[in-house]
Amino acid sequence: MPFIKMHGTGNDYVYINAFEYDISDLKLEELVKHISHRHFGVGGDGLVIIMPSKLHEVRMRMFNPDGSESEMCGNAVRCVGGYCHNHGIVKRREFNVETMKGCIGIKILDDGMIRVDMGTPITNPREIPVDLDKEIVTDYPISVDGFEGKFTAVSMGNPHAVFFTRNIDSLDLEKIGPQLEHHELFPNRVNSEFIEIISPKEVNFRVWERGAGETWSCGTGASASIIAGNLTNRLGKKVLFHLKGGDLILETNEKIDRVWKTGHYNEVATGTYYYNET
């Protein structure tokens, strides 16, 4: 089957263009385990299907390496937007992508950067979900083996626990990430972000993604983080994020009820994957 390899600030996925390739016979939950393997497959943070939508111009489905399907990925949808525009699937410079989270707005800027309307953040613990009887969860203490911190809970269509801390490069995410992901407070598991503030307009960022582990970038995680930073009066309305894979610009409004993310996308390779289900 033909594939495309793309990344957004190092958050790399294998993509299948289902406008051209029939995926009806594929078991996507199993395919992703093979094709995203770093040693035995193409390698990536997961699998993304670019496909026709009954509601908008394009639909995106995203699968984690463990076979689970995720609601949305901000970096992946940026790649989908750039790919669809540059390859003529969508002619307009502003269009919508259907995801499990809902409609995501894409705008192709004049300099080639892609601005994504990440939508409305969710702070109600019952909707995130977080198993806490509060109206909003900010700076809530949590402790696991090797780490103690305070998190702010935000959903961008998928759940996030945002920690503002120091010396994030020294954190052993391979140890603490799985413990936070599967903590009893998070019934649907959780993505964990670790933010080191340089100034209210600039931060360093690391992330542990549920079902994937540490990745080089996470668009929904950065989006959740600017919201968490505004809810706790730590960050401004426009922030430059330094991720392992590059930089993203995140913006919110005065009401803190919308997020926009701007960055590049990169097509790395195309090829043919020989999939053997056995």
Beta-carbon contacts of 1 under 8 Å, excluding residues fewer than 6 positions away, are 16, 21, 26, 272, 273, 275
Mean per-residue pLDDT, 7-18: 96
For the cut 70, the answer to whether the pLDDT of residue 277 exceeds it is: no
Where residue 275 falls among pLDDT bands split at 50, 70, 90? confident
Residue 20 Ramachandran class (φ > 0 left, ψ -120 to 50 alpha, else beta): alpha
Q: What is the pLDDT of residue 268?
A: 97
Q: Would you state the structure tokens that stand for residue 181, as one six-digit string? A: 């992901």
Residue 112 Ramachandran class (φ > 0 left, ψ -120 to 50 alpha, else beta): left
Where residue 276 falls among pLDDT bands split at 50, 70, 90? confident
Mean per-residue pLDDT, 215-226: 95
Beta-carbon contacts of 255 under 8 Å, excluding residues fewer than 6 positions away, are none
Q: What is the DSSP string of 178-200?
A: HHHHT-TT-TT--EEEEEEEEET
CATH class in words for 2-117+265-272? alpha beta
Q: What is the pLDDT of residue 217?
A: 93
| Residues forming CATH 3.10.310.10 domain(s) in the chain | 2-117+265-272, 140-257
**Closest C-alpha among 233, 245, 239, 242 to residue 261:** 239
Question: 140-257: what fold?
Answer: Diaminopimelate Epimerase; Chain A, domain 1 (3.10.310)
Task: Count the helices and strands in the chain (H runs, E runs).
Answer: 4, 18
pLDDT tens by residue, 132-143: 999 999 999 999
For the cut 60, the answer to whether the pLDDT of residue 176 exceeds it is: yes
pLDDT tens by residue, 96-110: 999 998 999 999 999
Residue 182 Ramachandran class (φ > 0 left, ψ -120 to 50 alpha, else beta): alpha
- Whose tokens are 């540490």? That residue is 214
Q: What is the pLDDT of residue 159?
A: 96
pLDDT tens by residue, 236-271: 999 999 999 999 999 999 999 999 999 999 999 999
Q: What is the pLDDT of residue 208?
A: 98
Q: What is the pLDDT of residue 241?
A: 98
CA torsion sign for 180, 181, 184, 189 is: positive
**Closest C-alpha among 96, 124, 145 to residue 231:** 124
Pairing between strand 11-17 and 47-51? parallel
For the cut 60, the answer to whether the pLDDT of residue 278 exceeds it is: no
| Distance of alpha carbon 172 from the chain centroid | 21
Which residue among 73, 79, 84, 103 is the active-site one?
A: 73
Q: What is the pLDDT of residue 23?
A: 96
d(CA 185, CA 131): 5
For the cut 60, the answer to whether the pLDDT of residue 183 exceeds it is: yes
Which residue among 79, 84, 103, 218 is the active-site one?
A: 218
Annotated catalytic residue 218: yes
The rounded mean pLDDT for the chain is: 96
**Closest C-alpha among 223, 175, 213, 170 to residue 191:** 213
Cβ burial 116-144 (10 Å sphere, 16+ → b, else e): bbbbebbbebeebbbeeeeeebbebebee
d(CA 147, CA 65): 26
